[in-house]
Amino acid sequence: MSSPNESLPWRLEWSDELSVHLPEIDAEHQRFVRLVNELNEVIVARAGVEEVKARMRLLQEDAEAHFAHEEALFRQWHYPDAEAHAQKHEQALRFLAEVMAGFSQEKTGYEWIETALKVKQVLIEHIMLEDMKYRDFYLASQGSAADA
């Protein structure tokens, strides 16, 4: 891991690599990226714990709504991996809840940076590893619908 310098060491930028080719979902993922960046910013600015928790709560609420949205689409598509994917959502939400619980204890600035990095990693890895699977399924289904 890189040293915790005081600039914005892990600012995320949206890129096409992250696109699932569904505008409504991309918009929600872009919002995640923004919320993760804002969480980073308040931590780097050494905001108080309440401010950090407020940002985390936003992320948590967003993740919950977003995951429910994806799962509704899966039902619509009859996506075969819906169950496994929903379990990954469950895990991510559990992780965010644990982070929130941890914030009630005293933490050093460095520990916050580490925690926020983990939050970023969990959310972005989920998009890049799990959400890309349904992207491929969705795109393939669109292709076969066009062929029919």
Q: Which stretch binds Fe ion (CB under 5 A): 71-79, 114-122, 124-132, 137-145?
A: 124-132
Q: Which residues contact 103 (CB under 8 A, 6 or more apart)?
A: 49, 52, 53, 56, 115
- The interface with Fe ion within residues 127-146 (CB under 5 A) comprises 131
Q: Could you tell me how many residues of this chain bind Fe ion (CB under 5 A)?
A: 2
| DSSP states of 127-141 | IIIIIHHHHHHHHHH
113 binds Fe ion (CB under 5 A): no
Structure tokens at 37: 């960046």
- The interface with Fe ion within residues 46-85 (CB under 5 A) comprises 70
For Fe ion, the closer CB: 51 or 71: 71
The answer to whether the CB of 30 falls within 8 A of the CB of 9 is: no
Contacting residues toward Fe ion, per CB under 5 A: 70, 131
